[in-house]
Homo-oligomer: A and B are copies of this chain.
């Protein structure tokens, strides 16, 4: 969940704000119906009003929507804005929108429910011929010669830790990527585009791309850098490429498990894959390096995936298995009681009183019980 500081950082990023302002200005004609998808503190909503929108639906799940409400009132736009604190996939609107504005990206556009949310909004909430901002993102990659990133990634667990063996951590780290600041000097090869996300036509959240570099000048490679460029609207673009001013998105370092000496003439083939599983992307990056003199057999073969970056707990896996027969723990019993009473239309205060009687060791006081009941109500009530 974003904090007020995060929203501040987004605004301080002037390249982003100016590009979005320009795109909104171009797209929002007087009288337009607009959706601000993931409205946050509501700045795009206010801009859409300023540029003449007849109505803006500001959809935001986070409490930040309350800031957006206050700012709308302070700027005299409250009567043109409908605030909806909900996930957009659960929202139905009385009319379709001429423009949908969003920025649900992270370091890369492949973040959680970004693409499914946009797909859903495009199909259900956008008018025929309506405009999506952003229009298109392109995904880029390059090989990096970046000892500093490599060191920072692996070093904590490679230093002499009092003579302890910390291999388990190194293995996890070799399968994890992180946000870093990549400079133009760290690029070992010409960047290549490995995928394009055209939001007007994209059909599914998963992406695969293949990269192929012929090494021109030798060097030590430490992995891949990934970033994206955006086309918000016709003629309105920004780039996160190394060498450009650093934006809020940043760039991603996908490490190799060890540095690789690349000779001139070597061929490097990388297959990048991003698959949305539940709410998170599993990233895989498989690398093969072929020497010029022997292109039949690869001299390097790395198979890396974020699937192996999170420690798997056997205890947790067992509890998720289809043949597991559970019995409820205390939290489960408490939640069951609360949901049952909610379905019987009891008021929260009465439910809390029951909890203090049924679970006195957990809820010595009525306010303590009401806190728990309130949390469950937030999640599970309409």
Contact = CB atoms under 8 A, between A and B. Distances in A.
A12 to B, nearest CB: 5
Contacts of A377: 319-320, 324, 326
Interface in A65-81: 65-67, 70-71, 74-75
B348 A326 contact: yes
Contacts of A329: 380-382
11 contacts: A4-B169, A47-B164, A66-B313, A75-B164, A316-B378, A319-B381, A322-B370, A326-B381, A328-B339, A328-B380, A332-B339
Interface string A300-322: 00000000011111111001111
Nearest to A371: B278
Given A71-B166, A155-B12, A332-B339, A349 B378 contact: no
Nearest to A77: B164
A-B pairs with lowest CB-CB distance, top 5: A332-B380, A322-B349, A320-B374, A326-B381, A8-B156
Contacts of A8: 156-157, 169, 173
A336 B328 contact: no
A64 interface: yes
A322 B373 CA distance: 9
Chain A contact residues: over half helix, strand or loop, or mixed?
A: helix
Contacts of A335: 335, 339, 380
Interface string A9-35: 101100000000100000000000000
A196 B250 CA distance: 41
Interface string A251-275: 0000000000000000000000000
A327 B315 CA distance: 34
A74 B164 CA distance: 9
Given A315-B85, A320-B377, A339-B335, A4 B325 contact: no
A342 B327 contact: yes
A67 B168 contact: yes
